[in-house]
């Protein structure tokens, strides 16, 4: 997926959805949520996929590392309230997963992100093949 193809996405089009509550501490002196916090929202969606208690992607002895993050800021987010986060899997490689995510407030897409994460061995920190169980979960997404 390229970002230009999905400028009009809405939250319901993402197979995985979650949310974050906005904190006053997230705001900057202009009164909107600081741009650095947008990465935290993307992280919330990513972590819920990787470490889902019912169907975790990470198995014993493995972790996921970010190797690429392309974040597009599209609109301001204002406190108070919540943001909704949508996540879609766009590609599954030998050891990597590419995600496309959207951050929404009140139905408005405020940010999109493409992220590549790689499965690594916890001891060697070298990429390893995605476990078959993770591949089965990802195939549904």
Looking at residue 95, which CATH number applies to its domain?
3.10.129.10
DSSP annotation of 28: -
Query: CB of 63 within 8 A of CB of 122?
Result: yes
CB atoms within 10 A of CB 1: 14
How do residues 96-136 score in pLDDT, each as one tens digit? 999 999 999 999 999 999 999 999 999 999 999 998 989 99
Gap between the terminal Cα atoms of the chain: 14
pTM above 0.85, yes or no: yes
Chain mean position to CA 55: 16
Per-residue confidence (pLDDT) for residue 7, from 0 to 100: 57
How do residues 41-70 score in pLDDT, each as one tens digit? 999 999 999 988 888 898 889 999 999 999
**Considering its fold, how many domains does the chain have in total?**
1
Across 1-141, the runs of DSSP E, i.e. the strands, are 16-21, 62-73, 82-92, 96-105, 108-121
Range of the domain at 113: 3-139
How do residues 32-41 score in pLDDT, each as one tens digit? 999 999 999 9
Predicted confidence (pLDDT) at residue 6 exceeds the cutoff of 50: no
């Amino acid at each position: 997926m390229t970002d230009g193809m999905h400028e009009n996405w809405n939250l319901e089009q993402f197979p995985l959805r979650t949310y974050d509550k906005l904190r006053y501490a997230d705001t900057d002196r202009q009164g909107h949520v600081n741009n650095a916090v947008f990465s935290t929202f993307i992280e919330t969606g990513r972590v819920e996929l990787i470490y889902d208690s019912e169907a975790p992607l990470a198995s014993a002895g493995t972790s996921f590392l970010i190797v690429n993050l392309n974040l597009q800021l599209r609109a301001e987010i204002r406190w108070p309230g919540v943001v909704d986060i949508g996540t879609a899997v766009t590609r599954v490689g030998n050891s990597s997963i590419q995600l496309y995510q959207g951050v929404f407030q009140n139905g408005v897409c405020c940010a999109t992100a493409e992220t590549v994460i790689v499965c690594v061995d916890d001891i060697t920190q070298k990429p390893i093949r995605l476990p078959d169980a993770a591949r089965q979960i990802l195939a549904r997404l």
